[in-house]
Structure 1
Amino acid sequence: MRRPLLAALLMLAALAGCGGQAATADGKFQVVTAFYPLQFLSERIGGDMVSVTNLTKPGAEPHDIELTPRQVGDVAQAGLAVYIKGFQPAVDEAINLEAKDKSFNAASVVPLLKLDGEEEHGHEHEEAAGGEDPHVWLDPVRFATIAGKLAERMGQADPAHAADYTGRANALVGELEALNTEFANTLKTCERRELVTSHTAFAYLAERYDLHQVGITGISPEAEPSPQRLAAVAKEARETGTTTIYFETLVSPAVAETLAREVGAKTAVLDPLEGLVDQKGDYFSVMRQNLAALTAGLGCK
């Protein structure tokens, strides 16, 4: 969407909501989130006191979404917009033009990992703001920090319910700490520590649990790997005895399947949790499915 058109739509949305409609007709505080992990946090922290709108539709790949006029209006009228700056340019633009003072950038409250050379092969690093990896929600420890800070920000925007937001966030942090313990205890026993993935979405998970991520493509899941990159990954997979090549849910598994055939491995799903498929499960159930896939593929006891 061109900037002049987006600016015009935002102005119309702001005029339509100039009464400061941060609440729905039934009195719920309105929160707009950029994509699923932030929707999950907002719903769990907000409970029945908030109405959460997700700008990325279920099953859609979130990296390159464009916003409809209705979604632009949702951003303009929300009491709080929750996003990760640099991950979705259309969302960044809408928030910058209309919701900058009523936003929460999850990337601002935890340190992000820099994309290293392996993750930047090709031109893909240009798509990540400042060369940083946005997939921070795949580390339960960092995600717990974001949950606590989001509760604080929601309390500032909706002071009447600040204590409720804090209480729910504390409960959620406890669940995330338990999830981290499950991952740590299971993955410390793995025979193999090389994590060969269709794209490099799992750096935070790999860093937290002492794994080595080897991505076929870089930070963009839809990029095509060069023949040289495929050959390099195949060589490393053979040398390390890799038995499983992981692909994700929202893009084609064709490249991963090709590599698996070449090195005599099998394929399995490792979900980057950028969005739910068919609205099945939630953050915790998908992360535990990931842990089961890692346990089988890496030979964990």
Structure 2
Amino acid sequence: MTRARRSALLALPAAAVLALTACGSSDAPAGGAATDGDGGAAPLQVAASFYPLQWVTQAVAGDRADVTSLTQPGTEPHDLELSPQEVATAVDADVLVTLQGFQGAVDAAADERGGEGVVDVAPAADLEPSPGTPPGEDAAEDDHEHEEGHDHEGEDHEGEDHEGEEGHDHGLEEDPHFWLDPVRMSSVAEAVADGLADADPDGADVYAANLADVRAELADLDAEYSEGLATCDSRDLVTAHQAFGYLAERYDLVQRGVSGIGGEQEPGAARLAEVAQFAEANGVRTIYTETLLPADVAETVAAETGATTAVLDTLEGLTDESPGDDYPSVMRADLETLRQGQGCS
């Protein structure tokens, strides 16, 4: 048993520890592949930090891996907290696929593993601070300035813990929502295939073949978006929060988010007025809400400008309200929503 596994198990109740250690008795020896009851290769056990990484990992792995998402359906991934059992899943998996810096709880689990078997897709995703957003239109900066200008006189902050503030919008130095750009998603798929092959060299040919299929699917998506958004009445994309910057950058749209990258921070009255004024002045007729966030912010702007609202799915996690049952189908549903909302022909 590794030091990382022992550390994770210490956080569990005694009964759970016994169950996990009993299940682990069939682990393969170091340097060898696990086997199933018939002597064949058992599937890799892979933990992915949230849905887009689960989808791309399972698509590349095929039958050679069982991929579990650490973010449950309907949960906002920005705010993820892991139970002791989920920490054990992340630490004990053969491979952990994650986006470093996006979910602190998963970063901690990756550190617990000592980096072994961790696939960090951030380099392949080529993250940027504010893609698709013009200078001076960063809602996160507006929110931060509003906070700094707030008069705290008379407020007692003694003993407050500010460590969690890094999870706020102004704590995200780079936009994590790369998966809404199929081209970046394709690069991430390649990184995942390399990581799986490192953990399971015997499956390298399978991963390579599946990767080719995944990249072809993503190339089709890219072509559909490029064609579908080529000619539109409006190229201004007003969203509930800055989740669609990479999509906007890829397809020549300009994003203006009411809230910042994380979406947790309520925009101030000044920001709401600013976005409403922009929407009205530029004839923006659709304000986009999201599946996993309250619609009230976008609805406020729409009500002030006479615009309508439409739902764009950020694909951070599937729910019963998602317009599709997997990544490609939801991306295609989003494309149709955008075509209608932006007046594309």
Does residue 95 in structure 1 map to residue 105 in structure 2?
A: no
Within a 5 Å distance, the mapping from 1:211-290 to structure 2 comes to: 211-278=253-320, 280-290=324-334
Listed one character per residue, the Cα deviations across residues 146-194 of structure 1 (whole Å, up to 9, x for unaligned) are 1112111101111111110110011110110011000001111111000
1:55–1:100 distance in 2 versus 1, CA, 3 Å: same
- C-alpha contact 1:24 1:51 (8 A) present in aligned 2: no
Q: Which runs of 4+ in 1 moved over 6 A?
A: 12-15
1:18–1:94 distance in 2 versus 1, CA, 3 Å: farther
Q: Tell me how far 1:221 sits from its aligned partner.
A: 1.9
1:300–1:162 distance in 2 versus 1, CA, 3 Å: same
Of residues 113, 116, 141 in structure 1, which corresponds to 2:128?
113
1:8–1:284 distance in 2 versus 1, CA, 3 Å: same
- When Rg is computed on C-alpha atoms for both structures, the one with the higher figure is 2
Within a 5 Å distance, the mapping from 1:69-88 to structure 2 comes to: 69-88=84-103
Amino acid at match of 1:9: A
Q: Secondary structure at the match of 2:68?
A: strand
Q: Secondary structure at the match of 1:262?
A: helix
Q: Tell me how far 1:8 sits from its aligned partner.
A: 4.3
Q: Tell me how far 1:127 sits from its aligned partner.
A: 3.1
Q: Tell me how far 1:18 sits from its aligned partner.
A: 8.5
Amino acid at match of 2:140: E
Residue equivalent to 1:295: 339
Does residue 158 in structure 1 map to residue 200 in structure 2?
A: yes
Amino acid at match of 1:120: A
1:266–1:164 distance in 2 versus 1, CA, 3 Å: same
Within a 5 Å distance, the mapping from 1:102-141 to structure 2 comes to: 102-115=117-130, 118-121=138-141, 122-123=143-144, 124-128=168-172, 131-141=173-183
Find the aligned partners of 1:7 and 1:241 in 2 and give their Cα distance: 59
How many residues get paired? 294
1:158–1:257 distance in 2 versus 1, CA, 3 Å: same
Residue equivalent to 1:3: none
Listed one character per residue, the Cα deviations across residues 104-159 of structure 1 (whole Å, up to 9, x for unaligned) are 1111223111136514222444332xx11110011000100111121111011111
Find the aligned partners of 1:98 and 1:61 in 2 and give their Cα distance: 25
Structure 2: any 5+ residue segments left out of the alignment? 145-167
Listed one character per residue, the Cα deviations across residues 1-51 of structure 1 (whole Å, up to 9, x for unaligned) are xxxxx9943556899458756858561111100000000011111111111
Residue equivalent to 2:241: 199
- C-alpha contact 1:155 1:162 (8 A) present in aligned 2: yes
Residue equivalent to 1:9: 8
Listed one character per residue, the Cα deviations across residues 57-116 of structure 1 (whole Å, up to 9, x for unaligned) are 011111111111111111121111001011111111111122512111111223111136
Find the aligned partners of 2:330 and 2:90 in 1 and give their Cα distance: 28
- C-alpha contact 2:96 2:118 (8 A) present in aligned 1: yes
Instruction: State the superposition RMSD in angstroms.
Output: 2.2
1:160–1:259 distance in 2 versus 1, CA, 3 Å: same
**% identical aligned pairs:** 44
Find the aligned partners of 2:234 and 2:170 in 1 and give their Cα distance: 32
Find the aligned partners of 1:113 and 1:106 in 2 and give their Cα distance: 14
Q: Tell me how far 1:292 sits from its aligned partner.
A: 0.5
Structure 1: any 5+ residue segments left out of the alignment? 1-5
The alignment's TM-score, normalised by the length of structure 1, stands at: 0.92
